[in-house]
Chains A and B, each alone.
Chain A
Amino acid sequence: MPQTLDRRRLLATAALGGVVGATGLGSLAPEAAFAAEPATVEPGAPDPNFVEGRIGKISGHLLLVTGSDTVLHSIRITDGTSIWKLHPTTFDQVAIGDGLYARGVRLPDGTLAADSVWVNIVNLHAHIAAVGRNLLHLDHKGQRIVAHVVPGRSAAVYNGTPAISDLSLLRVGRHVQVLGAWHPDTNEIDIATVYAAA
């Protein structure tokens, strides 16, 4: 924990400190960065640097994931991997049975070294059928989905304006788009963001 605090103090000081130009360290122009990594994905071909599926096994920092096309993938979690599970979190929160989307770089052995992992992420277009205390009942193509509002985490975007924590402008019967984290093997989700008209 002191390590984390020291690191955070270092990062905060760097961000709030003086302006450091990159002249001594090479070009700052975005073109230079793009030139370093040419696009390798053929149009229409599956992106080799993306994996989706459900976690079957976790061994060390390696996730074995079965894709929805039943293809088996292995994903390596590195020190630099961002892990999202309703909010940015840590590797110990990832469990067997979770679904995931991962993006990263393919290693020569076929393993995906993940840059970013989104665990149990869902993106739904639905209608609000009913509301309860910190609860939305969503009608998603005739299926009922129970969406939990997580105080302090869930946010709402009304009419494309900046996100706020106040979800009380949501109305029964209206259409919403919900980004959230699925509770595996249930029809329940936790709400990360709900997009609505108000």
Chain B
Amino acid sequence: MIDMIAALQPLVVGAVLIWSARVKLLNRHAATVARRSALAPLLGEDRALPAYRLLGGIELSLGALLVLPPALRLENTAATALAVGFLAYLTYARRTAPTSSCGCLSSRPTPVSGRSLGRAGLLVAAAGLATLLPGGWPAALADRPLAGGAALLAEAVAVVALSPELDAAWLLPLRRLRARLTNPLRGGSGLPLLATVQQVQLSDSYRRVAPLLRSDVREHWDDGEWRFVGHAARYQGRPATAVFAVPLVDGEPEAVRVAVVDDATGQTLLALAGTGRPAGPRLDVVPA
């Protein structure tokens, strides 16, 4: 059994390498990806892209050698060395440039995570197993097609599950589906304070007293059909409170009223009702 699994590993490792090379060689955004990856701080901005392309070339050749017969111990050894190199690179990148992108299997910017390290570890194990117990995969698959197919499928699933780059293809749709079925964010009701504040800030009353306001919203309360919003204000040197009255049912900014009340005496210094229409010059078009 273990011989069969070992014989199939070059196929798995080769497929992952070819996939990885495809991103590095054919992707239109390769230059951006290289600059975002940890290669840039490691080798310098100028050398990141050539190194990235060179790595893609090595991955492609080695991947092709692994997938195509004959099976040689040398190519398995080289794959193990490359996989160990990847693991070391990712560990280094995570320690020294944690914000850089992995640049591994996709152009999507993905920071190096525990999952990327797990995938690199899986590749080391797979390539190492193939080096220790070499064998040709076509023969192994022909001998036990069902078990071999299941082993390949399991490994492919493991690689995909350990690839944060591929989440958008399977994990997010699954989570979207779950959210659609369970609707976990339902149940919000009532008029949020922000809606009232937005209405106040669009109003003519606010525009006229805004220079007097000193603070953000200090207090707010609902009373009957009105919501009241209080700000600290200063009117001709006197501490005052500017209180806006906003109807709960009418979302029009014109309906907002305001009063400025002296904090010490309780005297209303200024009160403005909604104007109903914007102040300022109006252009009346009269039909001729």
Contacts and interface: CB of A to CB of B under 8 A. Distances in A.
Contacts of A153: 192
Interface string B206-238: 001011101111111101001010111001100
Contacts of A8: 221, 223, 228
Contacts of A164: 188, 192, 195
A10 B266 contact: yes
Given A16-B226, A162-B251, A88 B244 contact: no
* Range of interface residues on A (Cβ < 8 Å): 35 or more
Given A12-B228, A25-B270, A80 B176 contact: no
Contacts of B91: none
Interface stretch (A39-47, A53-61, A92-100, A167-175): A167-175
B257 A142 contact: no
Contacts of A118: 216
Contacts of B179: 131, 171-172
Interface string B171-202: 01001100100011111111111110011000
Contacts of A74: none
A14 B266 CA distance: 9
Interface of B: 99, 110-111, 113, 168, 172, 175-176, 179, 183-195, 198-199, 208, 210-212, 214-221, 223, 226, 228, 230-232, 235-236, 239, 241, 243-245, 251, 257-259, 261, 263, 266, 268-273
Contacts of B183: 168
A154 B192 CA distance: 7
B187 A81 contact: no
A18 B217 contact: no
Nearest to B183: A168
9 contacts: A11-B241, A12-B228, A80-B215, A87-B193, A88-B193, A116-B216, A155-B192, A165-B189, A171-B176
A193 interface: yes
Given A11-B259, A15-B257, A142 B111 contact: yes
B195 A135 contact: no
Nearest to B236: A26
B175 A19 contact: no
B245 A20 contact: no
Contact of B185 (A19, A25, A141, A167): A167
Contacts of B186: 168
A83 to B, nearest CB: 8
A156 B186 CA distance: 12
A132 B178 CA distance: 9
Given A155-B192, A162-B251, A168-B186, A20 B268 contact: yes
A131 B241 contact: no
Contact of A134 (B168, B184, B219, B223): B184
Given A20-B271, A25-B270, A193-B194, A34 B211 contact: yes
Contacts of B99: 141-142
